[in-house]
Amino acid sequence: MTYKGYTARIDFDDRDNLFVGRVLGIEDVISFHGTTVTALRTDFRHAIDFYLTTNPVPQKPASGKLMLRVSSEVHTAALIAAQASGQSLNQWATNVLKQAIHI
């Protein structure tokens, strides 16, 4: 479920017969719930709107900068794969990540 650039994970609480959601990708905790999908979606939107109006500098899900620590063997293999495909390592890694997350 997404709204205004924020994505949530939805779980079902069988004990309380309730859908429970939590926004992913930020340190702040934004949670919401509903007994139906419609109620869940409405509460999600209210939670995001409330968060955005009550936080002068709301967190965004990601900055676009990703730093990784990998072994030198993985780094070398990735660099070779990037060069073989005619891309920079950054372009190649972006494409590999996009394929892995299906976007």
Structure tokens, 25: 């990708």
DSSP labels for 18-67? EEEEEEESSSS--EEEESSHHHHHHHHHHHHHHHHHH-SSPPPS--S---
What per-residue confidence (pLDDT) applies to 98?
94
Task: Kindly list the domain boundaries of the chain, sorted by start residue.
Answer: 2-54, 72-101
Structure tokens at 52: 């955005």
Task: For 39-77, write each residue's pLDDT tens digit.
Answer: 999 999 999 999 999 988 888 777 788 889 999 999 999
pLDDT (0 to 100) of residue 85: 95
CATH topology of domain 2-54: Double Stranded RNA Binding Domain (3.30.160)
What would the pLDDT profile of 33-45 be if each residue is shown by its tens digit? 999 999 999 999 9
Contact 92, 86 (CB under 8 A): no
**pLDDT tier at 8 (50, 70, 90 boundaries)?**
very high
Residue 27: its pLDDT value, please? 87
Half-sphere CA count of 30, side-chain side, radius 13 A: 28
pTM score, two decimals?
0.66
